[in-house]
Structure 1
Amino acid sequence: MSELVVAARAAARAASALLRDARPDRITSKSNARDLVTEWDVKAEEVIRRVLEEHAPGVPVVGEEGGGDFDKAREHWLVDPIDGTVNFAHGLPLWCVSIAAARAGEVLAGVVVAPILDWWFEASLGGGARDERGTALSVSKIDRVDQALLATGFPYDMTQENNLDRWNHMMKTAGTCRRLGSAAIDLCLVAKGAVDGHWENRLQAWDLAAGVLIIREAGGTVTNMTGGGFDLYDGEVLASNGAIHGELIAELARA
């Protein structure tokens, strides 16, 4: 088993134990009123950083709340202590902890856990993807967009590149679409085969890293929205079961 997966597991378990019964008392905003942060985002990231340092000393951690200096070419951690903070703040259980190790734009290991739902997803590069029972994950076999269940999300700043044109088009074209409020959960549900595809832009590397690896190790396809190579630090993703990927690219281009 990858030592990086062991470290990510330990950190995810520690954060989950902290957050499972947490209720936010202080909810503030960052970039705008929609971009929420709670005291638990900060506390969870502190716990994750401590556990990762214990298991992988000297590997830099880049987190949503604490930032961090790192060299993309060298091994580093990408941490989102609560992906779906708005859901967390409102008591909606669709939020998760996402932890990944990356080097030179390639994700090496990743763990995503949704504590309230008892969902666990993990993967290591070349080692497959598994759920909370250790069962191998596998993407769906849906091969038509008009039969597919798709997921997406929207940026906090809706004044530019807000994804609404794509949403409106895909709601008319796909079987159906969902907005769950956590990109990491969306990606893991593609890996699980519960969702057939996910597109989104204006994300951060810590939103994407673990979920992208989990999808790929479950047999899925990940590119940018025009079908080009996926860039972990670019913020744009199109992920699918592979069977509908070409059709998704074509439909998104029509939006």
Structure 2
Amino acid sequence: MGRSLLFSANISLKSSCHLPRCSLPSFNRSYQCVPFSFKGNSHNGFPRLPSIHAKPARNLSTTKAVLSELPYQSRYPKIGASSTGPIPLNQLIQVVETAAKTGAEVVMEAVNKPRNITYKGLTDLVTDTDKMSEAAILEVVNKNFGDHLILGEEGGVIGDSHSDYLWCIDPLDGTTNFAHGYPSFAVSVGVLFRGRPAAAAVVEFVGGPMAWNTRTFSATAGGGAFCNGQRIHASQTDTVERSLLVTGFGYEHDDAWSTNIELFKEFTDVSRGVRRLGAAAVDMCHVALGIVEAYWEYRLKPWDMAAGVLMVEEAGGTVTCMDGNKFCVFDRSVLVSNGVLHSKLLERIAPPTEKLISKGFDFSPWFKPENYHTDF
């Protein structure tokens, strides 16, 4: 793909197709939800998003023996949507791809220019490009689906909270890398139907200064994963010793951060290596592409994960939380792998994660917009 990303953002979505609403299986968890109020809460000028305070029921140890007897494809529940409701899937993915590419055009225009950098925290950057990319993406989504709910990293919650559709937008995943010209960042757009990923696109920037280029990943629930239009598959490596792994570290240097430092050291000792690239969407696309075997991280946000997790699952991989429980986009940890290795990775990752939970570390779902309806 060359430097130019040209296409039309004005897509007609008129259709007489009305598919039945899906009935999705519930999570194998029990939750106690506590009401949340926006009152007195703000972040970067936007209301803080409501949290669900929950105590998942975890039974990893009791199910380990059962899981070991199942084919790896059957051991862990699927996270993708079973339906896209009244909107045909081909129309939905067309808008998702157009939105991601529109944001990528903004980023490409800025990639060789000086950055205007501000800070959300001590080391958490944001640039004008983040904001301009998100504005361009929102214009595409609103033009085609004005009644959908949107959750953007920079703009917070926008739209009808009673919609079945939630767009999770990261207009520039890997902002610190972008600010330094380091080639590991992307534009990520994923749409959920009733809380489960339905369609996704990630435009990854590759090459580096004086040689910038892009490649586009896309996936639909049940329809496979693709890179530049070609079907992709996760690797079939079945041993940790022959695996190349990826992880990430958040901005908060808390107990989860320390735990992951120890996991980083442990896996570096037993695998071919552990990389830390700094862009979750990119990391997960690399698992889907089959060039690395797994990626895990604590404390991600929905816009970090909504596109990437679907990419991995549709490439034949597996997605769970880091304690082995069923994953949803509002969770605070994720482990994605080629599937073959998933149980072997959990043997090392789940125990320290369970220890964090026993110490009171909060792993309940978060950043779920108030009133947004899900099937779990």
Confirm or deny a common fold (TM above 0.5).
yes
- Report how many aligned residue pairs link the two structures: 253
Residue 55 of structure 1 corresponds to which residue in structure 2? 144
Q: 1:72 to 1:225 in 2, by over 3 A?
A: farther
- Where do residues 20-31 of structure 1 align in structure 2 (5 Å cutoff)? 20-22=108-110, 23-30=113-120
Residues 65-117 of structure 1, C-alpha deviations (whole Å, 9 max, x = no match) = 00015648721100000000000000112100000100232100000001444
**1:224 and 2:321 aligned:** yes
- Judged with a 3 Å threshold, the aligned counterparts in structure 2 of structure 1 residues 210 and 72 are, in CA distance, closer, same or farther, namely farther
1:3: which partner in 2? Answer: 91
Aligned: 1:203 with 2:300: yes
Contact conserved, 1:148 with 1:174, CA < 8 A, in 2?
yes
CA distance in 2, matches of 1:227, 1:73: 30
Q: Does 1:33 align with 2:122?
A: yes
Paired position in structure 2 for 1:104: 194
- Residue in 1 that maps onto 2:281: 184
Equivalent runs, 1:88-237 vs 2, <5 Å: 88-115=178-205, 116-132=212-228, 134-162=229-257, 163-237=260-334
Matched-pair contact (CA < 8 Å) for 1:24–1:39: no
Listed one character per residue, the Cα deviations across residues 139-191 of structure 1 (whole Å, up to 9, x for unaligned) are 00100011101101000111331021211111112221100110000000000
CA distance, structure 2, for counterparts of residue 73 and residue 248 of structure 1 = 37
Is the contact made by 1:80 and 1:97 (CA closer than 8 Å) also made in structure 2?
yes
**Which one has a bigger Cα radius of gyration?**
2
Partner AA of 1:164 in structure 2: I
Could you say what the CA RMSD is over the residues aligned between the two structures, in angstroms?
1.5
Give 1:24 deviation, angstroms.
Answer: 4.5
Counterpart of 2:185 in structure 1: which amino acid? W
1:2 Cα deviation from its structure 2 partner: 2.0
The alpha-carbon deviation at position 9 of structure 1 amounts to 1.1
Report the CA distance between 1:57 and its aligned residue: 2.1
For structure 2, the 5+ residue unaligned runs are 1-88, 206-211, 353-376
TM-score for the superposition, normalised by structure 2: 0.65
SS in 2 for 1:161: helix
Contact 2:148 2:163 in 1 (8 A): no
User: Aligned partners of 1:45, 1:177: CA distance in 2, in Å?
Assistant: 31
Alpha-carbon distance between aligned partners in 1 of 2:165 and 2:90, rounded to the nearest angstrom: 14
Residue 42 of structure 1 is matched in structure 2 by 131
Instruction: Identify which of 153, 156, 177 aligns with 1:67.
Output: 156
Query: Alignment partner of 1:19: what SS?
Result: helix
Specify whether residues 9 and 125 from structure 1 end up closer, same or farther in structure 2 by C-alpha distance, changes over 3 A only.
same
The alpha-carbon distance between structure 1 residues 145 and 34, as it changes in their structure 2 partners (threshold 3 A), is: same
Bigger shift: 63-72 or 144-153?
63-72
SS of corresponding position for 1:20: helix
